[in-house]
């Protein structure tokens, strides 16, 4: 599937970081490009490897879930928008898509995987929501009209 | 997804040459690992020192690769960079694999 990036990357010249907003159309490498652009936009914050890795991981998991479940294979590709703003308590993210709603209107609980199992039953998935909920704070999902809205906060050191 | 493989006595060292094992390449990685490890070395060291990022799909693909090798062989991980290490630690999957900070330490530990 061809990748399309509507790279509306908006950054204004301000001493700190102004709000960042990007929008992508889902496709094979769309999430990868979105992550690259977002991290580039966050570069003025001088994030260390640890912080940048956490941000990339949580955003990757959230967007991969959307690609897999909100716009599942067979559905037409859709938009994902990611907004980020710097607040005193960290970075606040809002991810919006117009795909299928979360089953039961809420995110999975995100429990750690069970490793006390036979070799052949070791988990090959089910890590995503655990990672999101472990690393992000104030994770809130809402269905607003025909859109899914996921908001969360990532604390920064310094 | 580029893998390079080297036989070191009874050990096979498989190095991932790509910077990411993510959802976009997880299936490709799994297939490449399957082909590369089918030679049957009892111990395969997966050198991840060039991999800067892994997501849960990539983690699942590494677990699948280990399961495909079977319980009688072992897949050992070496050279985990900070974000890769974090994913294994948080999910506690580091307890399922032998994990070594560098390829050298992994080779030393498995020297005959």
pLDDT by residue (tens digit) across A74-130?
Answer: 999 999 999 999 999 999 999 999 999 999 999 999 999 999 999 999 999 999 999
Q: What is the dihedral of CA A86, A46, A135, B76, to 10 degrees?
A: 160
Interacting residues of A74 by C-beta distance below 8 A, sequence separation 6+: none
* Mean pLDDT computed over A55-77: 96
Q: Which chain A positions have a beta carbon within 8 Å of B74's beta carbon?
A: none
Q: Output the pLDDT for position B9.
A: 80
pLDDT at A15 over 60: no
Q: Single out the residue of B74, B72, B81, B70 nearest to residue B45, CA to CA.
A: B74
* Mean pLDDT computed over B52-72: 97
CA distances from B40 to A20, A92, B37, B44, B53 (A): 49, 48, 6, 9, 28
Residue in the structure block whose two tokens are 């790509």: B18
| Bridge partner residues of A143 (DSSP) | A148
Q: Which chain B positions have a beta carbon within 8 Å of A64's beta carbon?
A: 22-23, 55-57
Arithmetic mean of pLDDT over chain B: 95
What is residue B67's three-state secondary structure? helix
Q: Which of B24, B66, B96 faces A32 most closely, judged by CB atoms?
A: B24
Q: How far is B27 from chain A (nearest CA, A)?
A: 12
pLDDT at A2 over 50: no
pLDDT at B73 over 90: yes
Chain B residue with CA closest to A122: the answer is B63
Assembly ipTM: 0.94
pLDDT at B57 over 90: yes
What is residue A20's three-state secondary structure? strand
Q: Is the dihedral of CA B23, B42, A115, A137 positive or negative?
A: negative
Alpha-carbon gap, residue A18 to A87, rounded angstroms: 10
Instruction: Assess contact for A69 and A157: CB atoms under 8 A.
Output: no
* Mean pLDDT computed over B19-31: 97
The phi and psi torsions of A5 (rounded to 5 degrees) equal -120, 115
Binary contact (A125, B56; C-beta < 8 A) = yes
What is residue B82's three-state secondary structure? helix
Q: Which chain B positions have a beta carbon within 8 Å of A50's beta carbon?
A: 82, 86
């Amino acid at each position: 599937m061809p990748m399309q990036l509507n790279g509306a990357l908006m950054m204004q010249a301000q001493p700190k970081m102004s709000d960042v907003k990007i929008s992508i159309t889902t496709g094979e490498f769309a999430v990868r490009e979105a992550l690259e652009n977002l991290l580039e936009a966050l570069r003025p914050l001088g994030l260390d490897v640890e912080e940048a890795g956490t941000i990339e991981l949580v955003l990757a998991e959230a967007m991969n879930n959307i690609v897999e479940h909100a716009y599942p294979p067979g559905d037409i590709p859709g938009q994902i928008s990611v907004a980020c703003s710097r607040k005193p308590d960290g970075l606040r993210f809002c991810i919006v898509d117009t795909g299928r709603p979360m089953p039961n209107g809420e995110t999975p609980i995100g429990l750690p995987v069970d490793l006390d199992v036979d070799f052949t039953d070791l988990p090959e998935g089910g890590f995503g929501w655990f990672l999101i909920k472990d690393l992000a704070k104030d994770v809130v999902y809402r269905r607003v009209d025909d859109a899914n809205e996921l908001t969360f906060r990532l604390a920064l050191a310094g | 997804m580029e893998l390079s493989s080297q036989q070191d006595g009874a050990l096979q060292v498989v190095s991932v040459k790509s910077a990411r094992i993510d959802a976009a390449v997880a299936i490709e990685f799994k297939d490449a690992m399957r082909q590369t490890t089918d030679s049957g070395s009892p111990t395969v060291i997966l050198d991840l020192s060039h991999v800067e990022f892994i997501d849960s799909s990539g983690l699942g693909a590494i677990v699948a690769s280990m399961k495909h090798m079977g319980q009688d062989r072992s897949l050992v991980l070496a050279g985990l960079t900070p974000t890769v290490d974090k994913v294994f630690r948080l999910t506690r999957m580091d307890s399922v694999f032998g994990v070594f900070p560098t390829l050298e330490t992994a080779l030393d530990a498995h020297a005959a």
